[in-house]
Amino acid sequence: MLKLPPLSLYIHIPWCVQKCPYCDFNSHALKGEVPDSDYVNHLLNDLDNDIQLTSGRSISTIFIGGGTPSLLSAEAMQKLLDGVRERLPVDAQAEITMEANPGTVEADRFNAYQQAGVNRISIGVQSFNQAKLERLGRIHGPQEAKRAARLAQELGLRSFNLDLMHGLPDQTLEQALDDLRQAIELNPPHLSWYQLTIEPNTLFGSRPPVLPDDDALWDIYQHGHQLLSAAGYQQYETSAYAKPGYQCQHNLNYWRFGDYLGIGCGAHGKLSFTDGRILRTVKTRHPRGYMTGNYLDKQHNVETDERPFEFFMNRFRLLEATPRADFVNFTGLDESLIRDKIDSALEQGYLTETAEEWQITEKGKLFLNSLLELFL
């Protein structure tokens, strides 16, 4: 029998002003106005269809991602979050995050989004270097990014995050560290600092730029990690740093193999049931199809032989220890089924083990793919 983990809600807003050349998220360049009122109606209808999957649990976190959610009008955001609260119990202390671009129009709406219930904003800065921003296809400049961060600070939100990339085309170590220094100066409680990767089906995928080589990337990571640590940020996940107490609760729930409803174009969901089932759902990807009322694209039950890999693929992204009881409670499997694989990971120095938990080692972090392959 499964123990039901905490339940989150992910809401996808699919539009952007223009598609960035590195982006493989489900985002669509806007043609004309955002049909935000109509889309919110469809989101709430989609949620109505999924309420039966919640097993009566309340929502512990909400994340509104995209695309560019800050293209939604303040009125649409209010209608959306009011609609969610009317349909489901939302914890009084729920973290409610919205992704936002640093553009002037979006930043001017921050106060209204806060009134609607958003208490955490994630700002897609990517770089403070004008030439690098242009290379990435971003439509904001460094000063807009700084203004948006200061606005988020002044609002007194529970928290805000800055998204930064490193390993950009032709980026030097000093340019990467300069981006970090400028971010740290803005004093965000949370920083997502991740390496640019070239994905298929993107503009960069078809015309790859010249990126720093592996040695240069390692240099950037080591120096950047030292810089962030010295500024009081703790790394708690592969690409996530936070001041103590400011980790993103929504993402922690993903990585701890928690449950989440996914509504909106292309949104993914994972739901557990006390009868032992774990269900994964995927919503219709394109706005055109989704807004005909055809919300569910596909769903499947996670088979028992897939669960160890899925569990550890999430858990081992986190630097915190993994409670052994969580494996049993959230996969419904006995630990004896993976004992030989755990023993192999211990022998190879990827993990340490106590009576209560497993802890990934420095070697395990470096050879994460090899560690995870043991559970395939």
Architecture of domain 7-253: Alpha-Beta Barrel (3.20)
Q: What span, in angstroms and rounded, lies between the C-alpha atoms of 78 and 353?
A: 47
If you ran DSSP here, which 8-state letter would residue 318 be given? B
- Nearest C-alpha neighbor of 116 from the set 74, 177, 71, 56: 74
106 — pLDDT class (breaks 50, 70, 90): confident
Q: Which two tokens stand for residue 137?
A: 């296809």
Q: What pLDDT score was predicted for residue 104?
A: 67
For domain 304-376, say whether CATH 3.40.50.2300 is its number.
no
204-223 average pLDDT score: 89
- What does each C-alpha distance from 253 to 249, 265, 342 come to in angstroms? 6, 21, 23
Say if CB 180 and CB 171 are below 8 A apart.
Answer: no
How would you classify the pairing of strands 278-283 and 357-360?
unpaired
202 — pLDDT class (breaks 50, 70, 90): confident
pLDDT at 137 over 90: no
Q: What span, in angstroms and rounded, lies between the C-alpha atoms of 104 and 61?
A: 27
- Segment holding 272, helix H or strand E: strand 268-272
How would you classify the pairing of strands 278-283 and 296-301?
antiparallel
Domain limits, the chain = 7-253, 304-376
Equal CATH topology for 7-253 and 304-376: no
Say if CB 243 and CB 236 are below 8 A apart.
Answer: no
| Neighbour count for residue 152 (Cβ, 10 Å) | 26
Q: In angstroms, how far is the first alpha carbon of the chain from the final one?
A: 23
Q: What pLDDT score was predicted for residue 138?
A: 87
Q: What span, in angstroms and rounded, lies between the C-alpha atoms of 321 and 10?
A: 26
User: What rounded mean pLDDT belongs to the chain?
Assistant: 94
Q: What pLDDT score was predicted for residue 206?
A: 74
346 — pLDDT class (breaks 50, 70, 90): very high
pLDDT at 177 over 90: yes
Strand partners, 264: 12
Q: Which two tokens stand for residue 173?
A: 């170590």
3-class DSSP state for residue 115?
A: helix
Q: What span, in angstroms and rounded, lies between the C-alpha atoms of 138 and 127?
A: 9
Position with higher pLDDT, 17 vs 251: 251
201-218 average pLDDT score: 85
Alpha helices in the chain (DSSP H): 36-50, 74-87, 104-108, 110-116, 130-135, 142-155, 173-185, 203-206, 214-230, 249-255, 287-290, 307-315, 324-331, 339-347, 362-366, 368-373
Q: What span, in angstroms and rounded, lies between the C-alpha atoms of 145 and 103?
A: 7
- Nearest C-alpha neighbor of 90 from the set 49, 118, 122, 115: 118
Over the stretch 272-320, which tens digit does the pLDDT of each residue have?
A: 999 999 999 999 999 999 999 999 999 999 999 999 999 999 999 999 9
Say if CB 358 and CB 351 are below 8 A apart.
Answer: yes
pLDDT at 22 over 80: no
166-181 average pLDDT score: 97
Q: What pLDDT score was predicted for residue 200?
A: 82
Over the stretch 32-82, which tens digit does the pLDDT of each residue have?
A: 788 999 999 999 999 999 999 999 999 999 999 999 999 999 999 999 999
257 — pLDDT class (breaks 50, 70, 90): very high
The letter for the amino acid at 357 is E
Phi, psi of 98 (to 5 degrees): -130, 130
